[in-house]
Amino acid sequence: MTKTSNITQARKDFPILEQHCYLDSAATSQKPVQVIEAMKEFMLNSNGTVRRGVYELSVQSTQAFDNVRTKVQDFLNAKSSNEIIFTKGTTESINMLAYSFTEWLRLGQKEITKTSDIDSGNKSTAAEILISGLEHHANIVPWQIHTNRIGATLKSIPVLDNGELDLEACKTLIANGKVKLVAITALANSTGTIVPVKEITELAHQHGALVLVDGAQAVAHQKIDLQDLDVDFFAFSGHKLYGPTGIGVLYGKEKYLNAMPPYHGGGEMIDKVTLTETSFAQAPFKFEAGTPPIVEAVGLGAAIDYINNLGIENISQYEHELYSYALSKAKEIEGLKIIASTENKTGIISFVFDDIGSFDIGTMMNEHGVAIRTGHHCAQPVMERFGVDSTARISIAFYNNKEDIDKCFEALAKTVRIFR
């Protein structure tokens, strides 16, 4: 059986799809039975805390947990498993980095190894952090909070009328030499726009800036090779990669992770603790205070195994074919306007009508058994850029098929007729 036929047969691994036409995978993906069973099996037979005991269950749990770290390393082609930090999700990953990176700037980018290295200090007013106008709120709000905290400046790369980033403006913004970090999405959740991460990373590095990529949307749909991209930090969530909620990853180059101060304090992240001072462990443990999400990590590992079995390149090709089919159907609906006209998009169709509200569209589509997303998609600056309050959004995954697309646009056509 070919990989392509594997993909078309994979739908059977998602029993929930027998009852629902689900086209909101950009919000959260459905989970295959293999992921659910792996978590169940672990809880029934192997559950124990990690690195806290010498007994068999603790050893088994530790091995399972560490194996997932290695799986993530291989999946992303990171240089070392020490560069993989487990978090609750993309949002926590970015918040973690926003605090640790800006605190590192505030302290003069010296190596932080113990609590006495962290003092009240003076605010850093020269540094700039650069985001883009395509970002999810999770890659905006943390930077607002922490640039304000240390007195740094937050700037943004503007968005062109076609939905792409203005790369000429980006070059100008970076070239001033003040930018310390560029934080950008790889794939915009609101429009589906693909961002040229490698090009921006090369530009940033030329001017001494580091790069964080929000990979929450991209990681399930395209091959991520961190050593090829050469980004300094990368974040994603398990629940968008066909795994469970409550687990995410922050990747960082080891030299930066070891230099920055930790985000949380507590057990596991320490080297030595006295009542007056603590020295920190090396990465990744430095950033993993407390009992980690062990069962959720097992689920993430099972999801990565599942994706690897299908082949991420095959998934990407199949989804693009399905996306092209959906675009052709969208063009048949009178008055439908797609947000962001660039062809450099995939997986997401975000649209509006002049005479029908997006909430009304989503409500009526649900009445016809079709689940799509409506609202501002946690991307209000994008909505403002395109002069809308909200959009209706269709997002595609490999477990969808042409029948889903047909049902979706049949329901949309009926919805439009109701309001006209």
Instruction: Output the CA–CA distances (angstroms, integers) from residue 222 to 24, 135, 323, 345, in the order listed.
Output: 18, 19, 14, 12
Residues 305, 280: contact at Cβ < 8 Å?
no
Q: What is the mean pLDDT of residues 124-152?
A: 95
Give the pLDDT band of residue 3 (cuts 50, 70, 90): low
Give the pLDDT band of residue 51 (cuts 50, 70, 90): confident
Q: Percentage of residues in the chain with pLDDT exceeding 70?
A: 97
Separation of alpha carbons 31 and 306, rounded Å: 10
The string of pLDDT tens digits covering residues 170-210 is 999 999 999 999 999 999 999 999 999 999 999 999 999 99
Enumerate the β-bridge partners of residue 278. Answer: 273
* H helix runs in 49-196, sequence order: 56-76, 90-106, 141-150, 167-174
Separation of alpha carbons 327 and 318, rounded Å: 14
- CA angle centred on 404, ends 402 and 406, rounded to 5°: 70
Give the pLDDT band of residue 38 (cuts 50, 70, 90): very high
Q: What is the mean pLDDT of residues 9-31?
A: 97
Q: What is the pLDDT of residue 2?
A: 46
Give me the chain's average pLDDT, please.
Answer: 96
pTM over the 0.85 mark = yes
Evaluate if residue 314 carries a pLDDT over 80: yes
Pairs from 285-290 (Cβ < 8 Å, separation ≥ 24): 286/257, 286/258, 286/262, 287/85, 287/96, 287/100, 287/250, 287/257, 287/262, 287/263, 288/85, 288/86, 289/262, 289/264, 289/265, 290/264, 290/266
Evaluate if residue 124 carries a pLDDT over 70: no
Separation of alpha carbons 385 and 145, rounded Å: 22
* Pairing state between β 153-157 and 373-375: unpaired
Q: What is the pLDDT of residue 1?
A: 37
Give the pLDDT band of residue 413 (cuts 50, 70, 90): very high
Separation of alpha carbons 136 and 291, rounded Å: 29
Domains of the chain, each with CATH number or no CATH: 3-30+311-419 (3.90.1150.10), 37-307 (3.40.640.10)
Q: What is the pLDDT of residue 126?
A: 83
Q: Taking Cα atoms as reference points, which of 176, 230, 234, 229 lies closest to residue 207?
A: 176
Give the pLDDT band of residue 54 (cuts 50, 70, 90): confident
* Pairing state between β 84-87 and 248-252: antiparallel
- CA angle centred on 316, ends 68 and 31, rounded to 5°: 50
Q: What is the DSSP secondary-structure string of 148-179?
A: HHHT-EEEEE-B-TTSSB-HHHHHHHHTTS-E
Coil/strand/helix, residue 310: helix
Q: What is the mean pLDDT of residues 87-114?
A: 96
Q: What is the pLDDT of residue 6?
A: 83
Give the pLDDT band of residue 8 (cuts 50, 70, 90): confident
Separation of alpha carbons 88 and 293, rounded Å: 8
Separation of alpha carbons 78 and 142, rounded Å: 25
Q: What is the mean pLDDT of residues 283-289?
A: 97
Hunting for tokens 């799809």 — which residue is that? 17
Q: What is the mean pLDDT of residues 279-297?
A: 97
- Half-sphere exposure of residue 415: CA atoms within 13 angstroms, side-chain side: 27
- 402 token code pair: 């042409």
Residues forming the active site: 378
Separation of alpha carbons 297 and 303, rounded Å: 10
The string of pLDDT tens digits covering residues 356-407 is 999 999 999 999 999 999 999 999 999 999 999 999 999 999 999 999 999 9
Q: What is the mean pLDDT of residues 335-351?
A: 97
